[in-house]
Amino acid sequence: MNTVNTRTRTLGVNFNNNGSASIVLWAPEAGHVEILIVSRNIKIPLISEEYGYWILKTDILSPGEQYQFILNGEKQLPDPASLSQPEGVYGPSKAIDLKAFAWTDTNWKNIPLKEYITYELHTGTFTPEGTFASMEEKLDYLVDLGITAIEIMPVSQFSGERNWGYDGVFPFCVQNSYGGAEALQHLVNVCHQKGLAVILDVVYNHIGPEGNHLDEFAPYFTDKYHTPWGNAINFDDAWCDGVRLFFIENALMWFRDFHIDALRMDAVHAIKDFSPVHILQEIKEQVDFLEQQNGRCHYLIVELDLNDTRFINPTYKGGFGMSSQWIDEFHHSLRVSSGQEKSGYYSDFNGIKSLAKSYQDAYVYDGAYSDHRKKKFGMKAKENGGEQFVVFSQNHDHVGNRMFGERTSELVSFDMQKLMAGAVLVSPFLPLLFMGEEYSETGRFQYFVSHTDPELAEAVRKGRKREFRAFHMAGEAPDPMGEEAFLNSKLHWELADKAPHKTMLAYYKKLIEIRKRKSALYVLNRKDGHVECLEDKGVIVLQRQHKNQNVICLMNFSNQPREVNVAVYSPVWHKLIASSDVLWNGSEDLPETIPGEITLVLPSESFTLYNNQNE
């Protein structure tokens, strides 16, 4: 059974067009397997097939009924490929028919990756209700902001109702407290109607700790490798074929059955696989087959803590074929440039000098010695296009993994926030915003879980304390188990209509509108640009160009006014935006036009754009 079927989901319980159920379970070490239909207490034995699969076709099980698998006449367990867990991670699975949803997005075509302006959000804290349905009510707001893609943090079923999502234990199952599978399908359908692409964050490097039943069915894990979460998922040890199929089918399901446009794969550097064909490459190949069948375009975006272009190079160049990757090094450089502390891994970054290098080379470390890592790190990425890198000034990790979960709005001035926003949105890469940053949300985004196991809960608390020692942070971290950490993390939408938040929101809208309108900014040709680092002044001058259009980006990260001269001639330079203008709560208006070369005194902590064309 280890052959991938891209046309339909095969694992777990699935319903055929005639209403009968096809059941497939991988349990290679079981001697006897039954399915229990809970409400009617009916047990039906499954038939053993090769490679450890057990199958059954039956008319007895119907959509909406709850079921469990019984292994060797003893253990009653939920389906590892469950699509619904209405009673949580320890309860029975619920049979549902994914094909029953009535899609209306037939004419939807995925947005070209180079046009992605992404908004990362957490379902539980994005709205007061914390559901997919309530999220739909905010989509018009995101469209008006200029967002082209939303990125939803993981939604696979986890224990309790409060979690970032990276503790999911049922990879195929949509969290019941968010609304479940049908509600997610409905959300995606509405997003497409409004012109929004949908990215789903998935976790293929580990499985959460509570309610994780996978190893009771099969060797899903291997002790060959150690990860921060324990034994690695078994992608290359004995019985790995079944594990690989499990995760390949998972990726295909999101694209095919939920119409997701892109997957963001969490921390792929923690995936351990020395197979001749890496699991990421195999997922890519199967997604390519799916695209040929359904005529849709799908992207694979990875979070990667390795400056290694093998992950994003095409397969014909020996790469894994991923579409794009997050580059934390841009964030780290920008954060240090803004005057924030250089503790922990931030100690490797030298403010605007590192930021200028990231603008030029994507990776800050592309073969240089990293003092934090105590080794040379990274490789050159000169041949990789700008759309292959995702950049941001903050995201869930770099906010929520601070001890107190402070956002940038709490750590730097209003002027610096505007500068950081501009720095991201003029980059020759794909920009990503974290929910609330566009109106300078002041509430914190903290780490929260709702484990029911007391020992596990205490282990999480101790683990968080160990992490913060590396950053020499004083004080007591908020209790991740407490409901308060979750409630504190919900957005305060009322702020968007109040000063100065309303001004910040308008500023973000203008920045995004400029990026979309100016080809020198939206064409992500990294070779048609130049960056100059005036380290003694704390200023970066970034020049972006496309054909005859030239945009000059002036960024003063210092707390003093700085005079700059840009020796690039134009009969007239026209101002696109200046964060120091009174319109944006700044202290002074910069000139609307400048003849010849640009000579300016840049206000402190300011972001300024000039363009050689008046349009």
Residues designated catalytic: 266, 303
269 is known to lie in a ligand binding site: yes
Helices 328-337 + 414-425 axis angle, to 10: 150
501 is known to lie in a ligand binding site: no
294 is known to lie in a ligand binding site: no
Backbone CA torsion sign across 7, 10, 11, 16: positive
- Evaluate whether 307 touches 363 at the Cβ level (below 8 Å): yes
Three-class DSSP category at 465? helix
Please spell the DSSP secondary structure of 246-280, one letter per residue: HHHHHHHHHHHHS---EEEETTGGG----SSS-HH
Cis upstream peptide for 500 (omega within 30°):
yes
330 is known to lie in a ligand binding site: yes
517 is known to lie in a ligand binding site: no
Helices 501-517 + 414-425 axis angle, to 10: 20
186 is known to lie in a ligand binding site: no
329 is known to lie in a ligand binding site: yes
18 is known to lie in a ligand binding site: no
268 is known to lie in a ligand binding site: yes
Three-class DSSP category at 25? strand
State residue 69 phi and psi, 5-degree precision: -105, 145
- Evaluate whether 396 touches 355 at the Cβ level (below 8 Å): no
Q: Beta-strand (E) ranges in 59-117?
A: 66-71, 75-77, 93-94
Tell me the C-alpha distance between 346 and 160, whole Å.
34
Please spell the DSSP secondary structure of 383-452, one letter per residue: TS-GGGEEE-S--HHHHHTSSS---HHHHS-HHHHHHHHHHHHTSSSEEEEETTGGGT--S---------
331 is known to lie in a ligand binding site: yes
298 is known to lie in a ligand binding site: no
328 is known to lie in a ligand binding site: yes
Q: Which residue has the tokens 């479940």?
A: 180
Cα torsion through 182, 184, 188, 191, rounded to 10: 120
Of 237, 302, 316, whose CA–CA distance to 273 is shortest? 237
State residue 81 phi and psi, 5-degree precision: -105, 30
How many residues are recorded in the chain? 615
172 is known to lie in a ligand binding site: no
Backbone CA torsion sign across 436, 442, 446, 450: negative
Please give the structure tokens belonging to residue 607: 């972001």
Q: 92: Cβ–Cβ under 8 A, 6 or more apart, which residues?
A: 38, 66, 67, 68, 78
Q: 493: Cβ–Cβ under 8 A, 6 or more apart, which residues?
A: 127
Q: What residues form the annotated binding site for substrate?
A: 264-269, 328-332, 396-401
Q: Which residues are annotated as a binding site?
A: 264-269, 328-332, 396-401
